Amino acid sequence: MLNRLRQDSLKIRLLLLAAVLIILGIMGLALRVSAVLQGELEELLSGQLSATVGYVAADVEHEIGFHIKALNDIAAAITPELIADPARVQRYLTQGKVSRLLFSPGLSVANKEGRVVADEPSQDGRLGSSIKDQRFFHEIMAGNKLYLGISAPGSFSKQPIVAIAVPIFDALGAPAGILVSTVLPSDSALFGQMQQTRLGRTGFSLVISPKDSLIISATDKSRVFSPLPARGVNPLMDRRLAEGFEGAARTIDSSGTQVLTVSRNLKDTGWMVVAGISTAEAFAPIVKLKQEIFLAALLLSLTVVVILGLVLRKQLRPLDEAAIAMERMGTGEQDLSPLPIGRDDEIGRLIKSFNALVAQCNRLHEASREELDERKRKEDEVRGLNNTLEERVELRAKELLEINHRLLDEIRYRQFAETTVSDFAIRLQIMSRRLANTHESESRRLARELHDRVSSSLTAVGLNLELMEKQLPRDTAAKISERLSDTADLVRETLFVCRDISSDLHPAILDYEGVFGALEDYVLKFRARTGLDVVVSGNGRETPLSPDKEIALFRIAQEALTNCAKHADAHTVTIALNGDAERMELVIADDGSGLDLRQLGRREKGSGLGMLSMRERADAVGGKFRMESAPGSGMRIIVEV
């Protein structure tokens, strides 16, 4: 099972990387879409709240203006002489025309000493009482033409009420008394429109008096005449009171619930109307929409991963079959024989080269076998001659001399065979290098296939979605336009993921900016993915190298960074690339835990494959590879090519 996983490690890594990138990308898109929708819904709710507040504010201002005008008309008809005769004033107030203009609990007339001389409707204890301690009396007698505010409990009511007072002038225009109308917060004529207007299940409206720091009226009766929060408790309310801010914003109310509120200032009264709704109720549709988006994202991610897995499996199957056959030949389970060539690509050319090597090995094997047969025959002849050596020495001297010459030829031939075997070992090493190059070529081809085929297909899908949206009937397009747009966005995200996978198989930047630019680009992604602080430096940017050296240095740096992230427990990694066209040096150093190089070969099986891979890549391009490390002092990897 482990061997199988190692054999398929490239496919597994690609599938895992694709799954992670696709899921992260689509989930990020889903979060972005839900955030945008929530913003648009918040803007829509803000508009509705603004309209509601404006409607309520306009109604309250209209009713207060009408009431003030009625009070001024009544006050204009009351003279100082009339105030001096309380009975006449009382008869005037009790007229039907006057009564219809009053709000509960009533209307009162007081002289300039603050004594109530008439009221309508009459209430026990109000007629004849003194109001000179009330704030509205002092402001009117001080010359103000209107008072609108909260009256403290006293002559008019046992609880705070809204008082509206206007002056009664004498012939010289001086205040001779005041006319006071009191209004209850529950008065439907003044605040009825606010009571009837409610947005949603948790919506509310408030009328606030900033100068009294009180709530005058509210849809929730329990909040009437309750004090406003202390300064600093509700920063949004502080801003509305201090700056007159009227826009929509979120805040936490007195019950600890987050609400979205809008306010409107009443210029004539100095009051403020505030309307709001709980964000939990307002954004409830977004929660369900997020669930639908995440489900669709998961299904799309699984579909793309399955398709990518099938493509990789099909493309790499010939290479897997060839590797299995070579392994069986190496262990003796199968005779050394040519492999079938399925297609004429990089894998096909690799198999063709292997077949040529197999043919040459078979020829050498046949020649060696013939040589051994010939030698055995000669040895039999020598053995027969030895039996009659004394009798045939002179006769066979020349033959033995000739045989000696032949043996010398055989020795030379054996030396030639040994040289041939040495050449074969060198060719095997060359084939190993060629296999690595073929692997890079196949990765480059797969990257190009992903870029040219899959990316173009996804682009075509996106174009088809746009054409479908344009060609659908208008009523149908309006229903599914949002879903088509979401699908098009998902296709674009998938296209970006395919491009990232193509870049991981073979970074295109390596072909036009060289190994230095490719390392800088890879480090940016690696730093974002792992959090390690990686720095690339050196004078190797302008030095051109052969493609095989560039890819070897790049892959060595990749493997070293991967080891740092997995095993080194490092915080900082430096990559230095210095040299010229004749000699280039790559140094990768980290501040991690390091290791004992003497114990590297004794560690458990498979623990040094990364180091071995880096060393083989350096050897493949004729370079030198060495490591410097000790426990607790980090690791330095030096590659010279």
Tell me: the pLDDT tens digits for 65-88? 878 888 888 888 888 888 888 888
Beta bridge partners of 577: 586
Enter the pTM of the model. 0.42
**Spatial contact of 266 and 187, defined as CB atoms under 8 Å apart:** no
CA atoms within 13 A on the CB side of 637: 25
Sorting pLDDT into bands at 50, 70 and 90, what band is 575? very high
Share of the chain above pLDDT 90, in %: 3
Euclidean distance between CA atoms 446 and 440, whole angstroms: 10
Residue 189 has pLDDT above 60, yes or no: no
Query: Comparing C-alpha atoms, which of 553, 562, 342, 519 is closest to residue 440?
Result: 553
Provide the pLDDT for residue 219: 76
Interatomic CA distance for residues 415 and 392, integer angstroms? 32
Q: Residue 134 has what DSSP assignment?
A: S
- Among candidate residues 312, 311, 320, 309, the one with its CA nearest the CA of residue 350: 320
- Model confidence at 588, pLDDT cuts 50, 70, 90, reads very high
Q: How far apart are CA 13 and CA 561, in angstroms?
A: 16
Is 90 exceeded by the pLDDT of residue 587? Answer: yes
Q: Are 492 and 459 in contact (CB under 8 A)?
A: no
Q: Return the minimum-mean-pLDDT range out of 386-395, 487-496, 572-581, 616-625.
A: 386-395
Pull the structure tokens for residue 152.
């403290």
More confident residue, 424 or 581: 581
Stretch 265-277: mean pLDDT? 81
Give the per-residue pLDDT at 548.
Answer: 81
**pLDDT at residue 2 is higher than 70:** no
Structure tokens at 110: 């007081």
Output phi, psi for 209, to 5 deg: -105, 100
Q: At what angle do helices 346-387 and 284-331 cross, to 10 degrees?
A: 20
Q: Looking at the predicted structure, is the pLDDT value of residue 5 above 50?
A: no
Q: Rounded mean pLDDT of 634-638?
A: 90
Kindly tell me if the per-residue pLDDT of 367 is higher than 90.
no
Statement: residue 197 has pLDDT above 80: no
Where helices occur in 80-160 by DSSP H, the ranges are 80-84, 86-93, 96-99, 135-141
The pLDDT confidence band at residue 7, using thresholds 50, 70 and 90, is very low
> What's the whole-number average pLDDT of the chain?
77
Mean pLDDT of 115-131: 80
- Residue 89, pLDDT above cutoff 90: no
What domains are there in the chain, each with its CATH number? 78-181 (3.30.450.20), 335-489 (no CATH), 507-640 (3.30.565.10)
Whether pLDDT at 377 is above 70 = yes
Judge whether residue 524 has pLDDT over 70: yes
pLDDT tens column, 290-329: 777 778 877 887 887 788 778 877 777 777 777 787 878 7
Q: Which residue has the higher pLDDT, 214 or 624?
A: 624
Above 60 in pLDDT, residue 103?
no
Cα 578 to Cα 573: distance, rounded to the nearest angstrom? 16
In this prediction, residue 167 carries a pLDDT of 92
pLDDT band, residue 589 (cuts 50/70/90)? very high
To 5 degrees, how large is the angle CA 623–CA 629–CA 632? 155
Highest mean pLDDT among 216-225, 325-334, 516-525, 570-579: 570-579
Task: Calculate what percentage of the chain has a pLDDT beyond 70.
Answer: 79
Report, as an integer, the average pLDDT of 394-417.
76
Reading the block at residue 524, the tokens are 């940016």
Of 250, 243, 226, nearest to 43 by C-alpha is 250
Q: What is the mean pLDDT of residues 265-269?
A: 79
Average pLDDT over residues 124-139: 81
* The pLDDT of residue 604: 47
Any bridge partners for residue 572, and if so which?
A: 533
pLDDT at 220 over 80: no
Mean pLDDT of 515-524: 84
CA 379 to chain centre: 82
Which of 38-52, 149-163, 354-368 holds the top average pLDDT?
354-368
Choose the weakest-confidence range: 40-44, 496-500, 565-569.
Answer: 496-500
**Each residue's pLDDT tens digit, 591-605:** 888 887 777 655 544
- How does residue 483 score in pLDDT terms, banded at 50, 70 and 90? confident
What does the pLDDT look like over 247-260, one tens digit per residue? 888 888 777 788 88
Distance, CA of 47 to CA of 136 (rounded, Å): 37
